[in-house]
Amino acid sequence: MEHHDPHVDSHGDGHHDDHHDQGFWEKYVFSTDHKIIGLQYMFTGMAMAIIGGFFSYVFRMQLAFPGIDVPGFGMVSPGEYNALVTNHGTIMIFWVAMPVLIAAFGNFLIPLMIGCDDMVFPRINRLSYQVFLLSALVLIFSFFVDGGAFGGAWTAYPPLSAKAQYNLTAAGSSLWLVAVALEFVAFLLGGINFITTLMNSRAPGMRWHDIPLVLWMIVIASILFMVSVGPLIAGAAMLFMDQNIGTGFFDPNRGGDPILWQHLFWFFGHPEVYVVLLPAMGIVAEVLCINARKKMFGYKLVLYSVIATGVLSFFVWAHHQFTAGIDPRMANIFTVTTLLISIPIAELCFLYVATLYGGSIRFTTPMLWSLAFVVEFLIGGVTGIYLGASGMDIYFHDSYFVLAHFHYTFYPIAIIGVFAGVTHWFPKMFGRLMSEFWGKVHFWGTIIPFNIIFIPLFFLGMAGQHRRIYIFEHVAGLAQPHLQDLRVLATAALVVMLLFQAVFLINLFTSMFRGAKAGKNPWRASTLEWTTPSPPPHGNFGGNFPTVYRGPYEYSHPDHDEDFWPQDEPPAA
C-alpha cells in the first residue's frame, strides 16, 4: 500500500499551470503572477507619490508665500495645512517607500533571483495587493469626507488624534487609521510570502551566501517590519476605540496615558526607517557591483552589519521622545544606543565605497542614482548624530533640522533608491531600454534641486523654525527677510524638481512601448534574473530551473575570461 505523506499535497492539481488562456482581467488585474503583482505595487506606489508630491508643493507654496491662492489648490487654511503635511508624510512612507521598495521589487525579484517560478503562496500574494489597494483607496477617500483629511501628523499623537473635538476631523481620523491598519495587514501577508519563499525555494546549490544582497535586505526588512508592527497594531486598535467607542486608553482623565501611544508608535517607528532603508541599500549594492564590475567588498560583513542594525533598531526608539518628559537617565541610555547604531550603517557605506575602489566604473543612469544615494544618505546619517545626542535634541526637537535630517535619509531611500532600482531593472520588467540621455537629464534635474530644497531647511532649523506651523509671519525671530528668502528658495527648488519628474514619466512610458529592445542581459550581470527572457514568461524559466554554482557578484574574476560569471553557469569541466 502506498505510503501517504501528508506533508506534501498530493491532490490532483499538481504543479501544472491551469492558466493557459487568460483574458485581460485574469492576466493583468487578478493575476497571481509575482511579476504582475510587483508591477501593480510599483505603479500604485508611483501614483501615490504624485499625490504626496503634490501635497508638498501646496504646503511649501503656503510657507514661501503665506496666504497665497496656491495654483491648483486654492487658499490653504491652517487645518488644511496640517492635513497636507500629515498625509504627505503618511503617503510617502506607507504608500510609496514601502510598496515600491519592498513589495514591488521584492515581488518582482525574489522568485527570479532565486531561480523558481513564483512565490510560495501566489493567491495570498494577490490578496496582499488587493488589501493594499483598498488601503490606498480608503486613505484617498478620507480626503473627501466631512471635516476633511486627518491632520494630526503621521505620528498621530493623542489626545489630538483621539478626540474629534480637538482634531475636528472625526471621519478623516478614523479612516486614516483604518487605511494604515489595512496597509499593515497587506505587508504582513506579503512579508510572510517573501520570507518563506527566500528560506525555502532557492535553486539547488544556492547557499545563504550566494543569495543576492538585495533579497537579504528585503527579507530582513520584512522580518523587522513584522516584529515591530505588532505592538502598534494593538495601539492602533486602542486609538480607534478611543476615537469611536469612548474608551480611554490614552486619556489621563480615564486612567490612560498618551505616552503609551508614543512608545507603541515609536517602537515600530524606528525599526520602520530601517525597514525602508535596507531594500534601498540592497538595490544600491546590486547596481554598484554590476557597474563597478567588482564583487561586493565584504558580503558577509554587509550581512552581519545589517542584522546588527536590525537588532539594535529595537533599542533606540525613545530618541524620538527626548523632550516628551521621559526620565533623563533613560534619555542617556537611548543616546548611547542611537549613536551606536550609526556604526553598522557607516560600516555599510565604507564597504560600498571599498567595493567601488579599483573597479571599472560605468556611469550608467542606475549607477548615478546609486552613487548619489551613498553621498546624500551620508549627509542624512551624519546629521542624525546631532539629533541622537539628547542634549542637542532639546533644541532641535520638532525643528526643521529634524525635517532636513530625515529628508536626507528618506529621500535617498524612497526616491533615489527607487530610481536606481527602476532604471536598473526596467529592461527586465518590460523588455526594452530606457533612454540613457533623458535618464541623466532627469537625474541631474532631481538631485541638484533636492539639495537646494533641504540645505536651507537645516539653517532654518538652526534658527529655531518649528515643524508643522503653517505661517511664521507673527513670530518675530522667524519672520525675518533672510529666513523667508530661504523658504522661497526651497520652494522654488521643489517646483523645479517636481517638474523634472515629468522627464522620468515620459521616459518611462515611451520606453515601455517604443524603447530599444533589451536582450536577456543588457547590463552583463551575473545574477539569475538576467538569464531569463526580458520580460520573463509566466513560470520564469520555462521549466528549466537553474542550478547555482557560485556567488552573485563574480565580476572580473581572474579565472574567467568574461568580466562577469553567471551564477548558473556550470564550472568548466
Partner 1 sequence: MAFVPIANTRSAAGMPTGRLAVWWVIASEIVIFGGLLAAYLIHRLGHPEWANYAVHTNTMAGAVNTFVLLTSSLSAVLAHKAAEEGNGKKAAWLLVATTVGAGMFLLIKSFEWTYEITHGYTIQTNGFWAFYYTAAGLHALHVIAGAIIMLVIAADAYKGKYLHRVELIGVYWHFVDLVWIFLFPLLYIAK
Binding positions for partner 1, rule: CB under 8 A: 4, 6-9, 11, 13-15, 17-19, 32, 111, 116-122, 188, 191-193, 195-197, 199-202, 206, 226-235, 237-238, 241, 245-249, 254-257, 260, 264, 267, 545
Nearest distance from C-beta of residue 233 to partner 1, angstroms: 5
- Which 8-state DSSP code applies to residue 70? E
Nearest distance from C-beta of residue 17 to partner 1, angstroms: 6
C-alpha span between 243 and 245 (Å, rounded): 6
Nearest distance from C-beta of residue 3 to partner 1, angstroms: 8
For 310, the grid coordinates are 536590525
Q: Considering the complex, state which of residue 260 and residue 469 has its C-beta at the smaller distance from partner 1.
A: 260
Q: Considering the complex, state which of residue 3 and residue 474 has its C-beta at the smaller distance from partner 1.
A: 3
**Smallest Cα–Cα separation from 119: which of 20, 41, 11, 210?**
41
Rounded to the nearest 5°, which phi and psi values hold at 69?
-85, 100
With b for 16 or more beta-carbon neighbours within 10 A and e for fewer, the 403-430 pattern comes to: bbbbbbbbbbbbbbbbbbbbbbbbbbbb
Residue type, 302: V
Nearest distance from C-beta of residue 90 to partner 1, angstroms: 21
Q: Considering the complex, state which of residue 18 and residue 327 has its C-beta at the smaller distance from partner 1.
A: 18
- β-strand partners of 466: 399
- β-strand partners of 555: 564
Name the CA radius of gyration of the chain, rounded: 24
* Residue count of the chain: 573
**Smallest Cα–Cα separation from 285: which of 275, 295, 272?**
295
Q: Considering the complex, state which of residue 237 and residue 502 has its C-beta at the smaller distance from partner 1.
A: 237
Nearest distance from C-beta of residue 265 to partner 1, angstroms: 11
At residue 241's C-alpha, the angle toward residues 235 and 244, to 5°, is 140
Nearest distance from C-beta of residue 314 to partner 1, angstroms: 11
Rounded to the nearest 5°, which phi and psi values hold at 312?
-60, -30
Angle between helices 258-292 and 365-388 (to 10 degrees): 150
For 339, the grid coordinates are 549613536
Q: Considering the complex, state which of residue 247 and residue 556 has its C-beta at the smaller distance from partner 1.
A: 247
Q: Considering the complex, state which of residue 203 and residue 486 has its C-beta at the smaller distance from partner 1.
A: 203
- 3 state SS of 75: strand
C-alpha span between 338 and 318 (Å, rounded): 9
Q: If 0-12 CB within 10 Å is exposed, 13-18 middle and 19+ buried, where does residue 360 land?
A: exposed
Nearest distance from C-beta of residue 331 to partner 1, angstroms: 19
With b for 16 or more beta-carbon neighbours within 10 A and e for fewer, the 63-95 pattern comes to: bbebeeeeeebeebeebbbbbbbbbbbbbbbbb
Q: Considering the complex, state which of residue 255 and residue 325 has its C-beta at the smaller distance from partner 1.
A: 255
At residue 272's C-alpha, the angle toward residues 323 and 50, to 5°, is 105
Nearest distance from C-beta of residue 251 to partner 1, angstroms: 9
Nearest distance from C-beta of residue 508 to partner 1, angstroms: 29
C-alpha span between 422 and 33 (Å, rounded): 19
Nearest distance from C-beta of residue 2 to partner 1, angstroms: 9
How many other C-beta atoms can be found within 10 angstroms of the C-beta atom of residue 181? 19
Nearest distance from C-beta of residue 434 to partner 1, angstroms: 30
C-alpha distances in Å from residue 227, one per residue of 134, 181, 192, 487:
23, 15, 12, 39
Q: If 0-12 CB within 10 Å is exposed, 13-18 middle and 19+ buried, where does residue 209 land?
A: exposed
Nearest distance from C-beta of residue 211 to partner 1, angstroms: 10
